[in-house]
Structure 1
Amino acid sequence: MATAALAPKGPPGGDAAASDNPEDDDYVEYIPIKKRRAMEAQKILQRKGRLASSSSADAGGGSGGHPSTTDDDPDRPRLAPEAKPSLLVKASQMKRDLPEISPMEQRVQQEKEMIEHLSDRRTLMSVRELAKGITYTEPIPTGWKPPTAIRRMPARHADAIRKQWHILVDGEDIPPPIKNFKDMRFPEPILKKLKEKGIVQPTPIQVQGLPVILSGRDMIGIAFTGSGKTLVFVLPLIMVALQEEVMMPIVPGEGPFGLIVCPSRELARQTFEVVEQFLAPLRDHGYPELRPLLCIGGVDMRSQLEVVKKGVHIVVATPGRLKDLLAKKKMNLDNCRYLTLDEADRLVDLGFEDDIREVFDHFKAQRQTLLFSATMPKKIQTFAKSALVKPVTVNVGRAGAANLDVIQEVEYVKQEAKIVYLLECLQKTPPPVLIFCENKADVDDIHEYLLLKGVEAVAIHGGKDQEEREYAISSFKSAKKDVLVATDVASKGLDFPDIQHVINYDMPAEIENYVHRIGRTGRCGKTGIATTFINKNQTETTLLDLKHLLQEAKQRIPPVLAELNDPMEDEDAITNASGVKGCAYCGGLGHRIRDCPKLEHQKTMAIAGSRRDYFGSGGYRGEI
C-alpha cells in the first residue's frame, strides 16, 4: 500500500478507502489501477447477484455506501469477471464430445484426406476449355466398325475372353475384345508387315486396346513392359491419318492429324521408327503418302520445319521441342484429333504437367486422348481422367507389377565392392547386358572401368549430347557393343532386342523406376535376368517395396530383405477399409501414402522451386 507521503491528493468524497490517519480529512489514498479494476469487477458481479453471500458480507461500506477496499490480506486475489470460453477450449470440448475412433480408422481417414488434398489440382484441360466451360460428353465418332459377329457378341462371351486373357476393364459401353488382327480390319499391307515382324497373334493389351481406340474412345492403357503397347496406339493413329487424308488431302503447312508425346528423346525416336515401318508398305501398295515427323531436342530445327511446310500427318515429340514449335507458331494443332501420352505417369507427374497443359491449350477442338504406361497409380489415373471423355481403362495385371518373365535376383553388396563385383555379374549371361545407375558420374566411372577391363561398352545419360546418345543406342541395338551403361533415361519404354541381363548397380529410390528398368529384359514372351545390388545406402521403405514386389512375382526373397521389420503385414485391415493396396501415390506395396518417398521428394522439389522463384534469377524484384 502506498505511504501517506507519496499519496497524491484527490477530490474528497470519492470512492477511496479511509485513511490510516483519520484526523487528516483531506488525505485520499492512491489506489493502483489493477486494484480499481478489481473493485469495478466486484461491483458488476454484485449487481448481477453472482457474488457469494460470504463475499457480500465481507464487503465494507465506505463513503457513499460503496464497498471498502481495506482487506486483512492485501495479496489475496480478487474475483475476476466470468469470461466466455476461448475457441481452443471449445475445440477441445467438441473433440471430447465426438465418438472415439480406433487408430486404424484414424489412419484410413488421414490417408483419404491426403489423397483428396493431392487430387485438388488443376484439371488437365486447356485454358480455353476451362474459361468457356467447354466439356465434351460423347467420344469422337470414327468410320471403323468390326465384323457383324463381333458387334453382336454377347456380354458374357466378351467377359469370358477377357477372363481368359487376364484383362481387367472399367468404363461404359466397352467395345468387345477381338482375338485376331484380320477382324480389326487393318489394310493388307499392315497385316503383311505384322507377319514379317513375327507378330501373328495380338497380345492381351492389343486384344482389348485396339478395338477400344479404333472405336474412337478415350483410354487409359496399363500393361507390363514389353507387352506391345506401342502398336496399340500407333496402328489406330495410322488409320486415323489415312482416313483424314482420303477424305480431305492435306495442304502445305497443315497438320498434324495425330500427336504422340514421349518423355525421352530415345523413346520418341523408337516410336517414330515403328510408325515409319508401317507407313512404308502402305506407300508401296499405292495408298496416299503419309508424312511423319520426329520432333525432339538436340536436332536441327530447320530439318523438322521442312517437313511441317510440306504438311505433316503424324508427329512424335518430346514436350520441350513440341512446346517450342507451337509457341513460335511454326506448327499448329488446329486439325489434330488424336493425342497419345506414352509413359503418361511420367508426363503427368510434377515435372511435365505444365508442359502437357500448354500443349493442350493449342487444340482447337475435341481430341481422342490415350494414356499408356506400365506403372500408373490410382491417384494419377483419377487426375488424368479429368481430360478424358467416357474413358475406358484397360489393365493387364496390376498397375506397377513386375513382368513375370523376368527372374529377379537381389544381392547385398557393399558400396566399395560394387564396381569389382560388376565384372562377376557380367559372367552370368552372354551379352547384351544393360547396367543402370542413379547418377551420371557413376555411369561415366563404370563405362571407363569396363573399357579398361576390355569390355565393349557404351554409355548414355542426360549430360551427353544428342549425337553421342544416338550412337550409343544404335551400336547397342545392332549388337556392335555388348554392354550399355545408362541412367533412367534408358529405362522408360525403350525396346532393346534380346536383352539377356539387366543389372541395377543402384537400387532406385522409387519402385516405379525399378519396374521400368527390369522390364528392358524378358520382353515379348522371352525370359531374362535382373540383378540388383542393395546395401545400407537404401532406405527401409525402398527395400520393403522391393520385398513386396518380389513376393508378388513369386521370386526368391534374400535373407537381408526377409529379416526386415515389415509394418505392412498388419495393414490388411487398412487396405480393406481404404480399398487401396500399398501406396495410392506411387503404387509401392511396402508402404502407405503417408510414408511415400516419391511424394516426399516432390514436396521438397516444389519447396526448392518456390524458393528459387523468390531468391533466384528472374524472381521477385523490389522497386528501388
Structure 2
Amino acid sequence: MDETKHHRKRRMVEKEKSSDSSEDENYVPYIPVKQRKNKQRQEIEKRLGRAEALKEEEGMKDSTNEEEEEEEEEEEETEISQGPKSHLSLLDQHNELKKKAEARKESAREKLLKEEEKILESVAEKKALMGVAELAKGIQYQESIKTGWKPPRYILAMPESRHEKIRKKWHILCEGEDLPPPIKTFKEMKLPKPILSALKKKGIIHPTPIQVQGLPAVLLGRDMIGIAFTGSGKTIVFALPIVMFCLEQEKRLPFIKNEGPYGLIICPSRELAKQTNELIHYFCQALESNGYPSLRVLLCIGGTAIKEQLEVIKRGVHIIVATPGRLMDMLNKKMILLDVCRYLCLDEADRMIDMGFEEDVRTIFSYFKGQRQTLLFSATMPKKIQNFARSALVKPVTVNVGRAGAASLDVIQEVEYVKQEAKMVYILECLQKTSPPVLIFAEKKQDVDAIHEYLLLKGVEAVAIHGGKDHEERTWSMDKFRKGEKDVLVATDVASKGLDFPDIQHVINYDMPEDIENYVHRIGRTGRCGKTGIATTFVNKTVDESILLDLKHLLIEAKQKIPPFLATLHTESEKYLAIGDDVGCSYCGGLGHRIADCPKLEALQTKQAQNIGRRDYLSHNSADW
C-alpha cells in the first residue's frame, strides 16, 4: 500500500513539473503598447520601402531630444548660477540676465525690421520717376549739369573737417557724393550787389541752415532733395539760383520770341505758386533797376486767362511758376515747350509725388528734351518718397535740417479736448489768446463756410478760402489778410502748404487733420523766421487713435506739454517706435506707429482693393490746383 501511494505522489509531482515547464515554454513577456505600435509601424514601413523616411524621422526626434536636453542643462546651469551657493555676485548675475534680455530684444528688432522691409518693398513703385522716352531708351545721366558758378577758392581749400564742423553746428544732415562746402554768408556765395540789397530790404542778412548748405549745392548744378521745417527759407534756395542761371543765359544769348522757359517751378496750390512768383519778380526787378537785363516770369495757374499767359510766352519767357493742372493742359496743347528747359523744381514735392501724383510728374518729365537739374523741397518727406525720388535725380545731394516731418520748435503747441458741439463757441475764446492775425484751419469746405459765417455774425473781421471758391474771391481774401485789413483767415489745407505769413500770431486747428504731415504744415504757418507763435488744436473722441498717438510723439519730440488724455494713450508697439536711426513709420513719417500699423498705407491698400482709380481718390485736390 505504501509503495503504491509513493508512486502516485511521484507521478503527480512529475505531472505538475511537466505542466510548469510547458507553461514556461509558452510564456510571452509583456510589451508596452507604444513599443508594439512602433514595431508594427517599422514592419509596415519596411514592407512599403520607407526605411529612409523612418531614419530621417528618428534623426529629427534625436535632434529635438538633444535640443531639449541642452535647454534643460542650460536651465539647470542658470538655476545653479542663480542659487544661494553660487560663486557669482548678484551684480554679475544681473549683468548676465541683462545681456540675455538685450539679445532677445535685438533678435525681435531684427525680425521686425525684416518684416517692415518686405512691406515697404511691396508698396514701393517699381517704375523709376523718369520721362517715358528716357525709360524706353534706357537713358541714364551719369554727371550733374555744369554751371558757371564755383565756390571761392579759399573755401574750396579748407579741409573737410571744417565743413563738417559747420554742418554739425547748424544741425545740417547732408548725404551724397562729393558734397559741396557750406557757405556762411551771401557775399561769399558771389551773389550780385542788387540781390544782396534786396535780401537786406526783406530783413534777410544771414543765410538760414538750409540756405548755408542748399544754395551752394544748387548753384553748382547738383540735383537736390531739400528737407527743412516750415518757415526756414526753402523758397530762396531754389528761387535765387534760377534767377542767376536765367540772367547768365540772357547775357550770353538773349531769349527770342516763343523761346523758353529755361526754368520751371511747380507748386501744389495756386496761392503758393502766386507767392513764389512774387518773390522771383522781386529779385528780377531788383536786378533790372540796377542795369541788368530784364527777365520775364510767367505765373501759370488755373482760374486766370490763358490769353494773357500766351502773350508772355510769345515774347520769350525765362521762368514759369505753375500748378500741375494748368501746366499739363498747356503742355498737351503745345502752348508751352520744354525744349530748352534745364531747371526743374518741385516745391512741396511730397504732396505731388505721394499717393499717385508721381504719374503727373512723370508726364511732365516726358516733355523735357535733355538733362535737367531737378530739385525737390518739402518740410515733410518720408523715406519712402525720398528713395523713390532719387530714381529721377543724378548724384543727388540730400540736405536735411532736423528730422523730416518734425514740427518747428518756435511754435508752442496746445492740444485741448473740446466736444464736437462746443467747438464753434470755443473758437471765440481761443481768439482771445493772442492779437491778430489768426489762421483757422478746418478739414471740410462746409466747416470753413460755417466758421466764417459765425465769426462775421460775432463781429470778427474774417475772410475764408477753400477749393470751392473761385480764383478772384480767393485772391481777394488772401490780399486783404496779408495787408492786415482782415484779422482772421479761415481755410482748408489749401493754405497750409508753403504759404508765408510772416506775422501770424496764432493757428487754430478746428479739427485734427487725418494726416500728421498736414498738422505739421498747418502749425508751420506761425513761428516763422525766428519768431514764436501759438498753435491750438481741438481734439475729441471722433479723432482716430493712431493720429492721436502720432500727435503725442510729435509733442514729445518738440518738448511740448502733453495733455493728460494723450499721456494715457499707449500701444504695444511703442517700444519699437525708434529703431536705430529709423524713427516711427517709414511710409508716412508718423511717429506714433510703425509701417505695419500705418493707417495711411492701410487706406491706400483698401482703395486699391476696391478698384478705385488714383485720380478719383485724389479728385478733392483738383480744385486747389
Q: Does the 8 Å contact 2:356/2:614 carry over to 1?
A: no
Structure 1 residue 600: Cα displacement: 2.2
Residue 218 (1) aligns with residue 220 (2): no
Partner of 1:444: 449
Partner of 1:509: 514
Residue 171 (1) aligns with residue 176 (2): yes
Q: Does the 8 Å contact 2:440/2:507 carry over to 1?
A: yes
Cα deviation digits, residues 160-201 of structure 1 (max 9, x gap): 111111111001111111111011111111111011111110
Structure 1 residue 103: Cα displacement: 5.4
Partner of 2:313: 308
Q: Distance in 2 between matches of 1:218 and 1:611?
A: 32
Cα deviation digits, residues 213-240 of structure 1 (max 9, x gap): 0001001000000000000000000011
Which residue, 514, 527, 552 being the options, matches 1:547?
A: 552
Q: Distance in 1 between matches of 2:113 and 2:244?
A: 47
Instruction: Name the SS of the counterpart of 2:355 in structure 1.
Output: coil
Q: Does the 8 Å contact 1:509/1:597 carry over to 2?
A: no
Structure 1 letter corresponding to 2:595: I
Q: Distance in 1 between matches of 2:244 and 2:573?
A: 47
Which residue, 179, 186, 189 being the options, matches 2:191?
A: 186
Structure 1 residue 249: Cα displacement: 1.2
Q: Does the 8 Å contact 1:436/1:487 carry over to 2?
A: yes
Query: Structure 1 stretch 143-152 or stretch 314-323: which is displaced more?
Result: 143-152
Cα deviation digits, residues 510-566 of structure 1 (max 9, x gap): 110000000000000000000000100111110000000000000000000001123
Correspondences of 1:417-428 after superposition (within 5 Å): 417-428=422-433
Correspondences of 1:307-456 after superposition (within 5 Å): 307-456=312-461
Structure 1 residue 427: Cα displacement: 0.5
Query: Structure 1 stretch 193-202 or stretch 596-605: which is displaced more?
Result: 596-605
Q: Distance in 2 between matches of 1:141 and 1:262?
A: 26
Instruction: Name the SS of the counterpart of 1:438 in structure 2.
Output: coil
Residue 575 (1) aligns with residue 579 (2): yes
The structure with the greater share of residues assigned to helix is 2
Partner of 2:210: 205
Q: Does the 8 Å contact 1:223/1:373 carry over to 2?
A: yes
Instruction: Name the SS of the counterpart of 1:492 in structure 2.
Output: coil
Identity rate of aligned residues, in percent? Answer: 66
Q: Does the 8 Å contact 2:574/2:593 carry over to 1?
A: no
Structure 1 residue 604: Cα displacement: 3.5
Instruction: Name the SS of the counterpart of 1:536 in structure 2.
Output: coil
Q: Distance in 1 between matches of 2:539 and 2:603?
A: 20
Structure 1 letter corresponding to 2:312: V
Q: Does the 8 Å contact 1:172/1:392 carry over to 2?
A: yes
Instruction: Name the SS of the counterpart of 1:340 in structure 2.
Output: strand
Which residue, 598, 602, 605 being the options, matches 1:603?
A: 605
Which residue, 148, 155, 170 being the options, matches 1:150?
A: 155
Q: Distance in 1 between matches of 2:166 and 2:107?
A: 44
Partner of 1:584: 586
Aligned residue pair count: 526
Instruction: Name the SS of the counterpart of 1:178 in structure 2.
Output: coil
Q: Does the 8 Å contact 1:153/1:176 carry over to 2?
A: no
Partner of 2:100: none
Q: Does the 8 Å contact 2:261/2:338 carry over to 1?
A: yes
Cα deviation digits, residues 481-520 of structure 1 (max 9, x gap): 0000100000000001200000000011211000000000
Residue 276 (1) aligns with residue 276 (2): no
Instruction: Name the SS of the counterpart of 1:138 in structure 2.
Output: coil
Question: With structure 1 as the length reference, what TM-score do the two structures score?
Answer: 0.81
CA distance 1:571–1:303, shift in 2 (3 Å): same
Structure 1 residue 349: Cα displacement: 1.2
Structure 1 residue 586: Cα displacement: 1.1
Structure 1 letter corresponding to 2:143: E
Q: Does the 8 Å contact 1:583/1:592 carry over to 2?
A: yes
Q: Does the 8 Å contact 1:223/1:399 carry over to 2?
A: yes
Partner of 2:90: none
Structure 1 residue 350: Cα displacement: 2.1
Q: Does the 8 Å contact 1:450/1:457 carry over to 2?
A: yes
Partner of 2:101: none
Correspondences of 1:449-468 after superposition (within 5 Å): 449-468=454-473
Q: Distance in 2 between matches of 1:324 and 1:548?
A: 42
Partner of 1:471: 476
Q: Does the 8 Å contact 2:250/2:293 carry over to 1?
A: yes
Correspondences of 1:97-108 after superposition (within 5 Å): 104-108=109-113
Q: Distance in 2 between matches of 1:132 and 1:401?
A: 40
Partner of 1:534: 539
Instruction: Name the SS of the counterpart of 1:274 in structure 2.
Output: helix
Instruction: Name the SS of the counterpart of 2:583 in structure 1.
Output: coil
Cα deviation digits, residues 19-71 of structure 1 (max 9, x gap): xxxxxxxxxxxxxxxxxxxxxxxxxxxxxxx99899x9xxxxxxxxxxxxxxx
Q: Distance in 1 between matches of 2:512 and 2:491?
A: 13
Q: Does the 8 Å contact 1:549/1:589 carry over to 2?
A: yes
Residue 232 (1) aligns with residue 234 (2): no
Structure 1 residue 288: Cα displacement: 1.1
Q: Distance in 1 between matches of 2:318 and 2:611?
A: 38
Which residue, 525, 537, 541 being the options, matches 2:530?
A: 525
CA distance 1:609–1:353, shift in 2 (3 Å): farther
Partner of 2:31: none
Cα deviation digits, residues 553-589 of structure 1 (max 9, x gap): 00000000001123343216x713xx52100011111
Structure 1 residue 150: Cα displacement: 1.0
Instruction: Name the SS of the counterpart of 1:369 in structure 2.
Output: strand
RMSD of aligned Cα (Å): 2.4
Structure 1 letter corresponding to 2:349: A
Instruction: Name the SS of the counterpart of 1:532 in structure 2.
Output: strand
Query: Structure 1 stretch 144-153 or stretch 428-437: which is displaced more?
Result: 144-153
Partner of 2:489: 484
Instruction: Name the SS of the counterpart of 1:349 in structure 2.
Output: helix
Cα deviation digits, residues 255-305 of structure 1 (max 9, x gap): 000000000010000000000000001111111111000000111111111
Partner of 1:497: 502
Q: Does the 8 Å contact 2:344/2:373 carry over to 1?
A: yes
Partner of 1:118: 123
Structure 2 letter corresponding to 1:354: E
Structure 1 residue 319: Cα displacement: 0.3
Partner of 2:136: 131
Q: Distance in 2 between matches of 1:152 and 1:612?
A: 51
Q: Distance in 2 between matches of 1:53 and 1:371?
A: 72
Structure 2 letter corresponding to 1:156: S
Structure 1 residue 351: Cα displacement: 3.9
Q: Distance in 2 between matches of 1:186 and 1:109?
A: 48
Structure 1 letter corresponding to 2:257: P
Q: Distance in 1 between matches of 2:206 and 2:572?
A: 43
CA distance 1:456–1:125, shift in 2 (3 Å): same
Structure 1 letter corresponding to 2:568: E
Q: Distance in 2 between matches of 1:433 and 1:524?
A: 17
Q: Does the 8 Å contact 2:227/2:400 carry over to 1?
A: yes
Structure 1 residue runs of 5 or longer lacking an equivalent are 1-49, 57-78, 86-95, 615-624
Structure 2 letter corresponding to 1:589: L
Partner of 2:114: 109
Q: Distance in 2 between matches of 1:240 and 1:360?
A: 20
CA distance 1:281–1:120, shift in 2 (3 Å): closer
Residue 265 (1) aligns with residue 270 (2): yes
CA distance 1:611–1:379, shift in 2 (3 Å): closer
Structure 1 residue 121: Cα displacement: 2.8
Structure 2 letter corresponding to 1:323: M
Structure 1 letter corresponding to 2:585: C
Structure 2 residue runs of 5 or longer lacking an equivalent are 1-40, 54-63, 68-103, 617-625
Partner of 1:622: none
